[in-house]
Structure 1
Amino acid sequence: MIKHLSIPFFILILVAAIGIYFRPIWIIDETRYLSVAWEMWDKSSFLVPLLNGEPYHHKPPFIFWLVHLNWSLFGVNETTVRFIPMLFGFGTLVLAYRLYLALWKEDLQGAQNTLLILAGTLIFTFYNSLFMFDIILTFWVFLGVLGIVQAIQKQTPLSFGLISLSFGFGILTKGPVILVHLLPLLILASYWNAQKIDKRVYLKFSLAFLGGVVIALCWAIPAGIAGGEAYQHAIFWGQTADRMVNSFAHQRAIWWYLALLPLLLFPWSFHKAFYTSFKQITMDHGLKMLLIWMFFALLIFSFISGKQVHYILPEIAAFSLFASRVLTTTDPDMKGYTKSLGYTYLFFAIVFAIAPFVAPKSITFPVDHTAFLQSAFLLFVLGFYLLKKHFNLQHNAIKAMALSIIVAVFAVHFSIHNFLAAQDISDFSRKISSLQQKGIPVAQDKKYHDQFHFLGRLHDPIIVLSGKQKISKFIKKHPDGMIITYRKKKHMHKIDQELITEKTSFKGKYAILIKAALYDNLDRAP
């Protein structure tokens, strides 16, 4: 098994390294989550996550505990913690292999292809290099699904134990959303399972989920006591009903995920052999299980307006098992097997070659024409290879397509390296830190997302000023204080640059640091 895992491991490691080399800590999500971990570390708050000095109830603490373990071993840094999701990506590969064999015991080749397809799926691989919750949640979902399948097949205590661990640590990772991924499989188990299910199994499932609740409560109860009444309400109620209600406040169409499926399943969505093979398959119970898993999670998240790509990451990973079974159990025509993907990369090569010359004038970072052309050349070579190469074995063809994702990720990062470098707010954050160390109060006139705390290693909160009245009071009380404010880049030429103490690019705008006494003069033309 180790031999067959080597290439998928290699893909995840290299793609993560590419991302970490080119990308700074990403605004706003990565900067916020690392800052929460930093504030917990700095204030020795093990139970209650903190954001700008206040309890942070939006996410449970599991990933922050992992950061603290990392920093205990390697010291406070930003590089090693960015590999944490990748370790759970490794675990997901192993679980995908085990799950495939649990569904189709004799199909060893299909299990091996699953690992290649999973590691070669762009979105899954990309998120392995992001410091976020979703690869970790994907691991717990796969553990839970494996437990469900094994519990129905064997009903061993270990299988129900896996479900408890999955549910408990899934809650500690991202809250009760793990139910969206697991419950449909349990409710419809009698449909996708080959044999009739004893009703007593459902009682054992209930007890297993109860075990998961106990795991989560081992944190939630003492954290609620330590965090106070408002925090108790937030973690026991806000993580469920309140967040579900609020999620409908966003505006993304019900078909949003369907429209993005070609990207979400890239490159396999452009693999013609998958569609021709799909027409030949017989729908067995394992494929039914995967369809139920993917369809109902996608349906539920589609009806929730607050959509993000990473919400359905477990289902994107589940597609690797489905695609592998479809491809492996049909008789493939190896002539031009990778041709459709070759044409796809040739098309992207043309796009990359043209893009810097037709880029809109509104782009505020220097476009590196040479980098775009070099990336286009890499994609052209890759596309030409896949177009012309004749593979005798399907496994080798799948391996080549999976490895192609390394070139694709590098091409994207290399071509826009100037844009990525401009997202680094480290110097700006350190400037805030130096001001606080001198006893100078620093405030912000917008909602603060904790983006500066970790990068600047801040020890004190940033004062948040909501409304003109609070801003005026701060200016009168602290004329020598500093205010962080934001202006659109297209308006920067109207601002007297001599008033600005420090500035940095920030999500299409500029974050500006200015003395409080000069704040009212900022938007007056010089």
Structure 2
Amino acid sequence: MDSPLTASLSPSFPRSSITQSPLFHAGCVLLLAAWLLGVDGGWLFGQDLGALGLTDRDEGSNAEAAREMLETGDWISPTLNYEPRYAKPAFVYWLISGSYAVFGINEFAARLPSALSGLCLLLLQYVFIRKWAGPTVAILASFMLLLNLEFLGINRLVLTDPELVVFTTLAGYSFWHALHHEQTRRWFFAVFYLAMGCGMLVKGPVGIIIPLVGVIPYLTLTRQWSAFWQRGFPLVGIVLVAAVAAPWYLMMFQIHGEAYWAAAQANTSGRFMNPMEGHGGTLFFYVPVILVGFFPWSACLPFVLYHTLKRWKTYWQGQGLASQEQQLEVFLSLWVVGLLVFFTLSATRLPHYIYPAFPASAVLVAIWWKRLLNEECPAGLTASTRLLIGVGYILGIALMSVPAVFQLFMKQIAKEFPGAVELELS
């Protein structure tokens, strides 16, 4: 029963107030993200998107290729220094060129598509996870995805990965939704296939491989292959993927012939089989990448994955799981582990390759944090969370000093990293 004080306040502050609205929650996440990513001129470290010059070869190459596309008006064949550039498909160059056309040729315009992709990813995270696991998990998962080092770094660079992860995450989440919701199954399977087609337009076959790394093990473990063949319309899906991606690839092959085909193979299977451009590393390369890149939430991730593995055993023994949330855990954990294995087996290794695993990782940690808040968690997670909070206090104090340190050493940074110069492409 409500207390007299609660009863007296209820007419002025109803339970269905705007602060409990899904739109309000999503808006808060997106506004914070816009500020942190520098879209509105601010950022966690006091630097907006255009404050720092292009920092490495990939940023410079992508920005210049988009500038040349805008200059030449050739929207099919990307170039770099006016020579054919076969490394990546044209999708990201289209976005950057459009940004140049609106905001001019500068660092802000070059990085804006990446920052907006980060906002889109957060919106996907919130909308889908709220539907499956409730508002608490959705808010936690969105903030955990936003507030980690790799997200804040990658979505402020001129790379193809921010757009890729939007489409691969949309594909994976749409597959899950279609498999578990009869009324909208047909539409979300269509989104699943279309998103993979868009992912292939962003970065090649990996745009299809990343979602399937989670989908195939899940269908196998849960013995749902027959249901997928009957209800997932795989033949229609192949047509949808091809309808999105094939026209550009066919035009490139028609224009450039065998030269494009050879370069495309070198940048796909070649990268997997052999380390390219000196980007190798040991089999444990991604362990510190995840620990640092997904910090601070990586402190909880090993514990979460360990306990979720027990649910794999339940499914493997032919038993179902009690709740949709537990089934979601199985799917997401299979996806995270599958991506870790896949990119570890690849001979070419880079820190941002594992970024597609971060949205699912954030959801897994958020589910267990909700259980911790409800006092439904084992002691192990409680201990790791206390450790995380302690480290968070130290990190918070350190971050408060970052702007002053940055200003103090700015000249030295420019000297040590001469590539971090103003984008003078116009």
Place the TM-score, normalised by the shorter chain, in its bin: 0.7 to 0.9
Distance 1:16 1:263 in 2: 19
Indicate the residue corresponding to 2:162 in structure 1: 135
8 Å CA contact 2:175–2:192 kept in 1: the answer is yes
Among candidates 242, 266, 270, match of residue 242 of structure 1? 270
Cα pair distance change 1:161/1:279, threshold 3 Å: closer
Q: Offset at 1:7?
A: 3.6
Indicate the residue corresponding to 1:4 in structure 2: 25
More helix by share: 2
Distance 2:283 2:308 in 1: 31
8 Å CA contact 2:77–2:85 kept in 1: the answer is yes
Distance 1:408 1:300 in 2: 39
CA RMSD of aligned residues (A): 3.4
Distance 2:153 2:404 in 1: 13
Indicate the residue corresponding to 2:371 in structure 1: 329
Q: Offset at 1:281?
A: 11
Q: Offset at 1:52?
A: 1.7
| Letter of the structure 1 residue corresponding to residue 411 of structure 2 | N
Distance 1:306 1:117 in 2: 28
Indicate the residue corresponding to 1:214 in structure 2: 243
| Letter of the structure 2 residue corresponding to residue 122 of structure 1 | L
Distance 2:402 2:153 in 1: 8
Distance 1:250 1:281 in 2: 31
Secondary structure at the aligned position of 1:329 is classed as: helix
Among candidates 331, 335, 340, match of residue 387 of structure 2? 340
Indicate the residue corresponding to 2:255 in structure 1: 226
Q: Offset at 1:145?
A: 0.7
Indicate the residue corresponding to 2:332 in structure 1: 290
Q: Offset at 1:282?
A: 7.8
Q: Offset at 1:78?
A: 2.6
Q: Offset at 1:413?
A: 4.9
Q: Offset at 1:323?
A: 0.6
Q: Offset at 1:89?
A: 1.0
Equivalences for 1:113-152 in 2 at 5 Å? 113-152=140-179
Q: Offset at 1:293?
A: 0.4
Indicate the residue corresponding to 1:111 in structure 2: 138
Structure scoring higher RCO (CA < 8 A, sep ≥ 6) equals 2
In structure 1, list runs of 5 or more residues that go unmatched.
349-377, 383-406, 430-453, 458-526
What does the per-residue CA deviation read over 1:38-93, in whole Å, with 9 as the maximum and x for residues that have no partner? 12222222100101221110111101001121222233333123121111111111
Q: Offset at 1:338?
A: 6.8
Q: Offset at 1:120?
A: 1.1
Cα pair distance change 1:211/1:282, threshold 3 Å: same
Distance 1:292 1:337 in 2: 22
Distance 1:277 1:132 in 2: 29
TM-score (norm 1): 0.63
TM-score (norm 2): 0.77
Bigger-Rg structure (1/2): 1
In structure 2, list runs of 5 or more residues that go unmatched.
1-21, 312-325
Cα pair distance change 1:279/1:143, threshold 3 Å: closer
Indicate the residue corresponding to 1:299 in structure 2: 341
Indicate the residue corresponding to 1:309 in structure 2: 351
Distance 1:15 1:99 in 2: 23
Equivalent residues, number: 374
What does the per-residue CA deviation read over 1:146-170, in whole Å, with 9 as the maximum and x for residues that have no partner? 2211221236331122122211110
Indicate the residue corresponding to 1:502 in structure 2: none
8 Å CA contact 1:190–1:196 kept in 2: the answer is yes
Cα pair distance change 1:117/1:416, threshold 3 Å: farther
More strand by share: 1
| Letter of the structure 1 residue corresponding to residue 103 of structure 2 | F
Secondary structure at the aligned position of 2:227 is classed as: coil
Indicate the residue corresponding to 1:170 in structure 2: 199
